[in-house]
Structure 1
Amino acid sequence: MSSTATSNYKLVKNIKTGSFDLKKLPSYSLCLQVGIRDFQLCVVNKQTNTCLVLEDYKLENIKTINTRLEAIQGIIANHSFASSDLWDNIKLTFKTHKFTLVPNSHFIPEASSDYLALNSEIKTKIEEVYYYKHISSDAVNIFAADKKVIAWAKGQYPNKSIQVIHQGSTLIEGILAYDDHSHEKAMYAYFDRGILHLTVCQQQKLLYYNQFAVRKSEDYLKYILLVFKEVGLSAKTSKLIVWGLIKTNAPQVELLKKYIRNISLGTKPNFLKFSEAFEDVADHRYFDLYSIFLCE
């Protein structure tokens, strides 16, 4: 793995397969994911459903939305191929706690801001409201996204229609497409940098999704057990599958094992193909990034 560092970002993971071909960009999907202090990109060959590129950047010295944008601009501007406008499609995903899920049958697009305002403060000067209608469920995800990042993306890729997505939607679509389903109700957790995502499904139907801010191992246990109780799961028998940016023996996981018997780390999804270049990427990492291309 090569590494790159500047004053405001550091490349912490870099995978590019031998089958990646600059001449084939028109058949590739470019997936970008923006967090408060991280940025990832992934390239998928849509014709073969093969993951070709994965890059994970840690954003450093980020104190404002402008410095975050500058870091992202620097990454793309100095990139050997991500700045190209020849992609088949471009998907831009945001990690944000400002979201709400509503049933499609009750959704009115013109009222998107009103739905979101019920549980989030929308800063109209810096945020825009978007929505994503899920493919695999009846849910519509309404969320706020950074205006400046979106404006930059539209300027960077002027000939493409940028699809704006919420991280929660990528996880929901990925989990519902995940092949390790049973007919039993189960919980799927994603441990991100400071955020815990919890999804509950049964027979490939979405029953629950939410995210929680976490700081210590006890926070993970608290929220997982709280949701277990809320949705009627059993700590003795119900399945908990965990993905995320954690080590196999992370303190959070070791603590959970003391209270939840049927817990396991998730695997790479089988809706994507991976070459040997990805063997050094732990199976339970980057599930959200892999799932972006599913969102249509």
Structure 2
Amino acid sequence: METAKSTSYKLISRVKDNRFDVDKLHDYCLLLQIGIRDIQICVTDTKDNSCLLVEDFSLLDIKTVNARLKVLASLFENHHLLKAGFWDSIKLSLKSHKFSLVPTSHFIPESISEYLKLNCVVNPNVEGQYYYQHKSSNVVNAFASDKRLVNWIQSLYPAKEITILHQGSALIEAVLGQRAQEGKGVYCILDRNVLHVFVSQDNQLHYYNQFSIKSSQELLKYVMLVFKEFNLDQRTQPVVFWGTLSEKGESLVLLRKYIRNVSLGKKPSFLKFNYMFDEIPDHHHIDLFSMHLCD
């Protein structure tokens, strides 16, 4: 456990495979997912698609973007792996509510600011504009995030071309990778106080949005709004949930009063997990793990 006022970060959980070999980093992919007040780290073996390390940190006393960068710098400086530069590959996922999904056929990189203007206000002084091309779904995720953070991460690994993506892109890959079912599929991810909702059908994405929530009642409200928009049947429509909620927690208990078929998601099949990862609930970290699918 790491927690100290001087560093202002706290280790929430860590699981490490005993097969992890620091001399084989050249075979490993480093996955970094960074939010306003958290960071998740995962290491996967590119040779056999196995998960070797998962760490979840909370960033404390974050009130400004500069404060977040200082805390992250402290965490990286004290971490035994993060400053290493000889990974096989590195991927950076950014949690941001500033995004816009654009059909590939209509996407022009020079027009990202115009796409984002439809959904949010971007401050060009502090936010950079990025995009991730989904190869399987013919959609581009254009998004804005702290450019100082991105530039700093890139400066740590000058010999690597880092894949930069939006948290939603990893989740889109997770949703579209689910086994096809008749009719529409509804998938929800609760990431602390942010609810992501997806609707897909025939491996095509029909809807994605995220909502800031403060209560189980708000979670129910937004899920029901999506049910109403797509005219879904509360008695029969399956809903799969991943994220920071529990089987007997308030959110699912309330949701099941209105929607009959609600279940928790499973660990992804595209990664191999040794027995020590059994301590991580199956429905946790789907966004982190699904970065593995993003090239």
Structures share a fold, TM > 0.5? yes
* Partners of 1:134 and 1:77 in 2: CA distance: 33
* Partners of 1:177 and 1:65 in 2: CA distance: 34
Letter paired with 1:6: A
* Partners of 2:19 and 2:117 in 1: CA distance: 46
* Partners of 1:84 and 1:234 in 2: CA distance: 51
* Partners of 2:277 and 2:290 in 1: CA distance: 16
Gaps of 5+ in 1: none
Counterpart mapping for 1:80-159 below 5 A: 80-159=80-159
Letter paired with 1:207: H
Specify the alignment match of 1:237 in structure 2: 236
- Give the TM-score normalised by the residue count of structure 1: 0.97
Specify the alignment match of 1:206 in structure 2: 205
Q: How many residues align?
A: 293
Residues 178, 271 of structure 1: 8 Å contact kept: no
Residues 95, 167 of structure 1: 8 Å contact kept: yes
* Partners of 2:171 and 2:135 in 1: CA distance: 12
Letter paired with 1:168: G
* Partners of 2:107 and 2:207 in 1: CA distance: 18
Gaps of 5+ in 2: none
Deviations 1:221-258 (A, max 9, x none): 11001011112321111110000012222211110010
**1:52 corresponds to 2:52:** yes
Specify the alignment match of 1:178 in structure 2: 178
Task: Please tell me the root mean square deviation across aligned C-alpha atoms, in Å.
Answer: 1.0
Specify the alignment match of 2:23 in structure 1: 23
* Partners of 2:135 and 2:274 in 1: CA distance: 28
Deviations 1:146-175 (A, max 9, x none): 111111111111111121110000000112
SS of equivalent residue, structure 1 residue 56: strand
Moved over 3 A (4+): none
Deviations 1:255-296 (A, max 9, x none): 001000111000101111100110111001111010012111
Q: Percent identity?
A: 45
* Partners of 2:133 and 2:280 in 1: CA distance: 31
* Partners of 2:184 and 2:114 in 1: CA distance: 32
* Partners of 2:30 and 2:182 in 1: CA distance: 34
Letter paired with 1:270: S
Specify the alignment match of 1:34 in structure 2: 34
